[in-house]
Amino acid sequence: MLVLARKLHESIRIGDEVEVSVVEIKGDQVKLGIKAPPRITVHRQEVYEAIQRENVTAAGAEPSRVPSLAGVLHNTPESRRHAAQQSRRAGSSHGASQSSQNHE
């Protein structure tokens, strides 16, 4: 583990994309600001551990007990594009099956 000392308004860099700054020091609490690209997730340790526990639980769940992820996706351009692609695929495959049924 690397241990660094920083003063108020000083920063450290993690790679080329992540910057961690000391924003405020009040008593025994230090507030950090973290600048990172959206594709890099940043969580408090206890939240990260809870997510990991949920992932382990979900991995062992029966597929019928796992809720749909449709409502969980973030409202990002990528998720909207993915949803539109899925919708188009579903529509085209549905149309193809109707078409073949009509010819039988």
**Is 70 domain-assigned?**
no
**Does residue 43 lie in a domain region?**
yes
What distance in Å separates the CA atoms of residue 43 and residue 49, rounded to the nearest whole number?
9
Name the residue range of residue 33's domain: 8-62
- Please report whether residue 17 resides in a domain: yes
d(CA 16, CA 43): 19
84 in a structural domain = no
Domain tally for the chain?
1
What sign results for the dihedral spanned by CA atoms 86, 88, 93, 98? Answer: positive
Question: For each of the chain's 104 residues, which pLDDT tens digit applies?
Answer: 999 999 999 999 999 999 999 999 999 999 999 999 999 999 999 999 999 999 888 888 776 666 665 555 555 666 666 667 666 666 654 444 444 444 43
Residue 91 within a domain: no
CA distance 12 to 20: 5
Helix, coil or strand: residue 5: coil
Write 90-95 long-range contacts (CB < 8 A, 24+): none
Report yes or no on 40 lying in a domain: yes
Strands (E), 1-104: 11-14, 18-26, 29-35
d(CA 9, CA 69) in angstroms, rounded, equals: 40
